[in-house]
Amino acid sequence: MTASGELSIGGNSDIVLVRQRVRAAAVEVGLSLVDQTKIVTAASELARNALVYAGGGRVRIEIVRNGVKMGLRLAFDDDGPGIPDVDQALTDGWTTGNGLGLGLSGSRRLVDDFDLRSAPGEGTRVTVTKWAR
Amino acid sequence: MGVTLIVRPDAGRRRIEELVRQHEDRVLKRWLEITAAASAGRPDQGDTAARLTEIYQALRQSFAGDGDTSDLHGLLAELSRSRARQGFSPSETASAVFALKEALYEVVEDDGTPEALRGFVWFSKTVDDLGLFTFETYVTARERIIIDQAEQLLELSTPVVKLWEGIVAVPLIGTLDSARTQVVMEKLLQALVDTGSEHAVIDITGVPSVDTQVAQHLLKTVMAARLMGAECVISGIRPQIAHTIVTLGIEFGDIVTKASLSDALAHALRRSGVELAGNRRTRVTVRTEEE
């Protein structure tokens, strides 16, 4: 698959690149225009989180299958300070930065599967999947 | 039966310096031949030849003198720039410099002394550094151009247009990052003052995705315009963007949003007391009603 691969996130221009690559992969998987926009937006949020709160990270873009269904899986990894209270971080409007506090919680609503693993000092791994309908 | 050769460290270097001086004509001629062969069919061979000759002399002087290489580096930077303009790749330019090793090696081979062979290793390193320097110059020049263009793009890509008396519009295209939003906000606020407008339309038809950061930037811009007494309408919200914004949970509050720029213009016209009249099937005519 041409659109799969790993990208590093080290600056704002990388977030643009992540969006472009995710959009290309979403088209390849056959997501609808609305779902394409949703996964691209979620990717933008999660990539920015990795950049802002962990100083950078990586994303793995993968095309996955579940029976006949095709899906797009994105795994964001960083070696940042980690999230002490995951439930609180997933609350609408809660932020330690100066954003709207909707990036993480909103991303969860934008995708079909959402998995967040984090512990203080051990970085954060967010895996999201969007299935084609 | 092995023969042990003992060479003092700087003896090799001195021998090379001698060879570079004594065989100047031969080495230079060979160097120019090799580079000319590599760039056959390109224009301006004379220009490169003249520059290489100057570089050779500067190199010889840096050997003879106190090792001052600022002249040499200046000439190399010029070579790199001039060749870049002629369409040579940075590798080709670096290769042209590296070719000096091949040219000198023939002299070293004829000389055959252990000092010369030993010194050639040192010379090779020196030439590598020079070649890499031309590469660096090229990359630095290229980065300069990219930075300049990014700045120009920032200026170009955010026009504020006057749609009607008292109505200005900002058609946004591409990615909205903090730097661009800053420019957009400044330009919009200035345009509001300059044109005395009370209505502004921010059109995001050309923005591919609206995430929380973009939304926050938009909200701030609208707030700033409001502080100046202007009413903002955000237009160009496509179905997929509307869907995403709702799912993300972003609230635009009491900010007026419209699907298309024409809807936004109609709204702004109505609000500023202009009435639209006419037969929809043929053409929309617009007239101002004086109060």
* Inter-chain CB proximity B209 and A16 less than 8 Å: no
Cβ distance A106 to B248 less than 8 Å, yes or no, reads yes
In chain B, whose CA is at the least distance from the CA of A101? B212
Dist CA B291 CA B289 (whole Å): 6
Say if the Cβ atoms of A40 and B208 lie within 8 Å: yes
Percent share of chain B, pLDDT over 70 = 89
Q: Is residue B2 part of a domain?
A: no
Q: Are residues B25 and B112 in the same domain?
A: yes
**Do B256 and B272 have their domain in common?**
yes
In a domain, B167, yes or no: yes
Q: How far is CA B288 from CA A73, B51, B98, B199, in A?
A: 55, 70, 75, 16
Cα B241 to Cα B52: distance, rounded to the nearest angstrom: 59
Q: What are phi and psi of B275, to 5 degrees?
A: -105, 135
- Rounded to a whole number of angstroms, the distance from the CA of A16 to the nearest CA of chain B is 8
Residues B240 and B166 in one domain: yes
B199-206/B274-277 β-pairing: unpaired
- Quote the CA–CA distance of B142 and A97 in Å, as a whole number: 35
CA neighbours closer than 13 Å in the CB half-sphere of residue A107: 29
Residue type, B163: L
Which of A16, A40, A106 faces B212 most closely, judged by CB atoms?
A: A106
B103, B42: one domain: yes
Distance from CA of B91 to the nearest CA of A (A): 27
CATH number, domain with residue B42:
1.10.490.130
Q: Which domain holds residue B264?
A: 161-288
**In chain A, which residues touch B (CB < 8 A)?**
12, 16, 19, 23, 33-34, 36-38, 40-41, 44-45, 48, 92, 99-100, 102-103, 105-107, 109-110
- The SS3 assignment for A98 reads coil
Question: Which pLDDT does position B62 carry in this prediction?
Answer: 84
pLDDT of residue B47: 81
Are B50 and B168 within one domain?
no
Asked if the Cβ–Cβ distance from A34 to B239 is below 8 Å, we say yes
Question: pLDDT at position B8, please?
Answer: 64
Question: Could you please report the per-residue DSSP string of B184-232?
Answer: HHHHHHHHHHHHT-SEEEEEEEE-S---HHHHHHHHHHHHHHHHTT-EE
Residues B166 and B52 both lie in one domain: no
Best probe of the B interface among A22, A23, A98, A102, by most B CBs < 10 A, is A102
Nearest-by-CA chain A residue for B176: A16
Same domain, yes or no: B63 and B166 = no
Written as six digits, the tokens of B253 are 């509050």
Residues from chain B contacting residue A108 (CB–CB below 8 Å):
none
Domain end call among B154, B184, B208: B154
The reported pTM is: 0.66
Among B154, B181, B196, the domain boundary falls at B154
Tally of structural domains, chain B = 2
Q: Which residue of A has its CA nearest to B240?
A: A34
Query: What integer pLDDT is reported at residue B5 of this predicted model?
Result: 55
For residue B1, is it within any domain?
no
Instruction: Kindly provide the ipTM of the predicted complex, given to two decimals.
Output: 0.84
Interface of B with A (CB under 8 A): 175, 177-178, 208-213, 215-216, 239-241, 243-244, 247-250
Residues B16, B141 within the same domain: yes
State residue B24's pLDDT score: 87
Interchain contact, B244 vs A103, CB within 8 Å: no
The DSSP line for A73-85 is: EEEEEE-SS--S-
Q: Which CATH superfamily is domain A5-131 in?
A: Histidine kinase-like ATPase, C-terminal domain (3.30.565.10)
Q: Test A12 with B247 for CB contact under 8 angstroms.
A: no
B99 found inside a domain: yes
A45:B212 CB<8 A: yes
Say which CATH number the domain at B215 has: 3.30.750.24
Q: What pLDDT, on the 0 to 100 scale, is given for residue B4?
A: 58
Share of chain A above pLDDT 90, in %: 68
Dihedral (Cα; A27, A29, A35, A40), 10-degree rounding: -60
Contacts of A44 in chain B (CB under 8 A): 209, 211, 213
Same domain? For B191 and B167 the reply is yes
Looking at residue B289, the DSSP 8-state letter turns out to be P
Q: A-B interface: how many C-beta pairs under 8 angstroms?
A: 65
Chain B residues close to A12, C-beta within 8 Å = 177-178
Q: What is the pLDDT of residue B288?
A: 57
B73: enclosing H helix or E strand: helix B70-85
Same-domain pairing of B175 and B204: yes
Which of B216, B244, B247 lies nearest to residue A99, judging by beta carbons? B216
Residues B150 and B187 in one domain: no
Which of B139, B154, B169 is the C-terminal boundary of a domain? Answer: B154
> Residue A44 contacts by C-beta under 8 Å, 6 or more apart in sequence?
A15, A18, A19, B209, B211, B213
| Residues of chain A below pLDDT 50 | 1
Q: Please say whether the beta carbons of B90 and B139 come within 8 A.
A: yes
What pLDDT score does A2 carry? Answer: 55
Q: Which residues of chain B have pLDDT under 70?
A: 1-9, 43-45, 66-67, 154-157, 278-291
Residues B14 and B132 placed together within one structural domain of the fold: yes
Nearest CA in chain A to B210: A41
